[in-house]
């Protein structure tokens, strides 16, 4: 364009000098003046028309490269180049045809750093029609005729979208989520995520999305592999566990004849009024049904002990809430989990530092954390999160909401095997329950960055 402007300027100056001489000559010179001016008029007309063509084509090319880059990054597979070429061709730019060239890469520099962006470049040879009259012949040819090269380029990156999970398996090796048969498993309305692989035999479990970092095989109505690992979102809550004041004394349930019975502080039945942080040192065993009255919410910390429901029900009263925390030392010989028959019928608090958390295993503990009959012994009627970050869980029961809470359940485990009738029926009400669900970022539509 600069060459064209300079050429027209020189031509106009030359014409102006000649016109000035003619202006001093009063003889009939209209035809001569028109003849001299005609190339200027044609050149000006040519520049206007060619500029309009260039602008339209340039805008069209930019739209094409934008769409192609977004499509390539949205695809995110080894097929991205084919996807980009297909989109560009829909705009009329077919690689190798009619003077068009389309190139793409998935290793372009990104504005935020790294070389993982997708870039699509398009070049097109625009034939010149009128500008050659004034001497502008462009920088190339098309079919032996003068042409100007037009270019466009666009860079995009893979976009992400959040996805909530009602089941998250944290282990990153092997198969962290396994469904064995599961003909009756029902995870409809939930999404599942394995930070390793997920494998379901015989049935998908009905989860809306079954995601896995390595490979998802058979889990979920929609199955997606290669999903980014979801970091543990709840480990930071361990800083809120009250200090252990048990002084090294942790009474355990008697296992042999002659073992001492649990003290009264470790044997519960009837109504229990709880407030703030309540600590039990050692095993806590129910000797009857228990109703927890905690209108302001409470945190029940069991240090180096299990919660043995012993065939009974532990329930939060209407308007009450509790978080049950299993903590203590990491020595062998302790069980840090709910056990026994009966029912866990509890509602998590909907506010505060433990908002939405019903059961919490201290992530510093790795011994005595496995659960072999989750949801079945005891039965789980829970509103809130069950956090078992180092637990190998066998899940066989059906989770329903607590009697007095909203419909919300999420579980975080190390790895999990789901058998037979494993099901989650409590979902959709986690906002009201105060739970921030486990959330990952899954690949979504590409986003332009340049």
Run of H or E residues at 20: helix 2-24
Q: Which of 95, 123, 158 lies at the terminal end of a domain, its last residue?
A: 158
The single residue listed with the structure tokens 């329950």 is 433
SS3 assignment, position 82: helix
- Contact 410/433 with Cβ under 8 angstroms? no
Cα distances from 172 to residues 191, 212, 331, in angstroms, run: 18, 10, 25
> Is residue 124 located within the same domain as residue 93?
yes
> Is residue 62 located within the same domain as residue 103?
yes
pLDDT tens digits for 278-298?
A: 999 999 999 999 999 999 999
Is 31 part of a structural domain of the chain? no
Q: Which of 126, 142, 158 lies at the terminal end of a domain, its last residue?
A: 158
Is 113 part of a structural domain of the chain? yes
To 10 degrees, what angle do helices 30-75 and 2-24 make? 170
Q: Cα separation of 162 and 442, whole Å?
A: 6
Whole-number average pLDDT of the chain: 88
> Is residue 345 located within the same domain as residue 206?
yes
Is 28 part of a structural domain of the chain? no
Is 147 part of a structural domain of the chain? yes
> Is residue 104 located within the same domain as residue 216?
no
State the average pLDDT over residues 210-215. Answer: 97
> Is residue 266 located within the same domain as residue 413?
yes
The whole-number pLDDT of residue 13 equals 66
Domain range for 145: 9-14+40-158
> Is residue 127 located within the same domain as residue 243?
no
pLDDT tens digits for 147-175?
A: 889 999 999 998 889 999 999 999 999 99
> Is residue 173 located within the same domain as residue 153?
no
> Is residue 100 located within the same domain as residue 224?
no
Our CA angle for 367, 372, 375, nearest 5°, is 120
Q: Cα separation of 374 and 376, whole Å?
A: 5
> Is residue 108 located within the same domain as residue 217?
no
Is 297 part of a structural domain of the chain? yes
Q: Which of 101, 125, 158 lies at the terminal end of a domain, its last residue?
A: 158
> Is residue 272 located within the same domain as residue 406?
yes
Cα distances from 102 to residues 109, 133, 151, 395, in angstroms, run: 18, 31, 10, 53
> Is residue 355 located within the same domain as residue 305?
yes
Is 208 part of a structural domain of the chain? yes
The whole-number pLDDT of residue 135 equals 78
Residues in the chain: 450
> Is residue 217 located within the same domain as residue 324?
yes
CA proximity to 102, closest of 121, 83, 119, 86: 121
Could you tell me what percent of the chain has a pLDDT over 70? 88
Is 30 part of a structural domain of the chain? no
Number of structural domains in the chain: 2
State the average pLDDT over residues 229-238. Answer: 97
pLDDT tens digits for 24-62?
A: 655 555 555 555 555 665 556 656 666 777 788 889 999
- Contact 49/128 with Cβ under 8 angstroms? no
Is 22 part of a structural domain of the chain? no
CA proximity to 12, closest of 53, 42, 48, 52: 42
What is the per-residue DSSP string for 372-421? EEETBTTEEEEEEEEEEEEEEEEE-SEEB--TTS-S-EEEEEEEEEEETT
State the average pLDDT over residues 320-328. Answer: 98
The pTM score is: 0.78
What is the per-residue DSSP string for 329-355? ---TT---SEESSSEEEEE--SSSTTT
């Amino acid at each position: 364009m600069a060459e064209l402007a300079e050429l027209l300027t020189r031509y106009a100056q030359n014409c102006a000098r000649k016109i000035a001489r003619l202006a001093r000559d009063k003889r009939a010179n209209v035809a001569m003046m028109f003849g001299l001016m005609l190339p200027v008029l044609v050149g000006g007309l040519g520049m206007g028309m060619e500029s309009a063509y260039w602008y339209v084509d340039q805008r069209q090319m930019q739209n094409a490269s934008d769409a192609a880059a977004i499509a390539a990054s949205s695809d995110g597979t080894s097929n991205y180049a084919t996807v980009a070429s297909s989109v560009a061709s829909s705009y009329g730019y077919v690689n190798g045809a009619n003077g068009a060239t389309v190139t793409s890469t998935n290793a372009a520099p990104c504005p935020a750093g790294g070389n993982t962006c997708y870039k699509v470049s398009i070049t097109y040879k625009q034939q010149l029609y009128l500008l050659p009259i004034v001497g502008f012949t462009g920088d190339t040819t098309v079919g032996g005729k003068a042409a100007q090269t037009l270019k466009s380029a666009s860079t995009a990156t893979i976009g992400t979208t959040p996805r909530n999970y009602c089941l998250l398996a944290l282990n990153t090796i092997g198969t962290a989520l396994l469904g064995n048969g599961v003909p009756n498993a029902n995870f409809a309305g939930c999404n599942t995520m394995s930070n390793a692989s997920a494998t379901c035999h015989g049935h998908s479990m009905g989860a809306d999305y079954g995601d896995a970092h390595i490979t998802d095989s058979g889990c979920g109505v929609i199955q997606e592999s290669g999903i980014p690992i979801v970091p543990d979102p709840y480990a930071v809550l361990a800083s809120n566990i009250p200090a252990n004041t048990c002084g090294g004394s942790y009474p355990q349930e008697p296992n042999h004849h002659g073992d001492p019975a649990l003290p009264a502080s470790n044997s519960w039945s009837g109504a229990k009024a709880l407030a703030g942080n309540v600590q039990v040192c050692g095993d806590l065993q129910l000797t009857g049904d228990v109703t927890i009255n905690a209108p302001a919410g409470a945190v029940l910390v069991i240090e180096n002990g299990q919660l043995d429901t012993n065939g009974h029900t532990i329930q939060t009263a209407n308007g009450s809430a509790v978080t049950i925390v299993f903590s203590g030392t990491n020595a062998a010989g302790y069980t840090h989990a709910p056990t026994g028959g009966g029912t866990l019928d509890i509602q998590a608090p909907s506010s505060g530092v433990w908002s939405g958390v019903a059961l919490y295993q201290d992530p510093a503990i790795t011994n005595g954390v496995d659960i072999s009959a989750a949801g079945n012994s005891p039965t789980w009627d829970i509103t809130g999160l069950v956090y078992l970050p180092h637990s190998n869980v066998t899940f066989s029961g059906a989770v329903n909401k607590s009697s007095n809470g909203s419909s919300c359940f999420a579980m975080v485990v190390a790895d999990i095997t789901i058998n037979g009738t494993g099901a989650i029926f409590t979902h959709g009400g986690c906002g009201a329950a105060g739970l921030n669900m486990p959330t990952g970022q899954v690949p979504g539509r590409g986003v332009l960055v340049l």
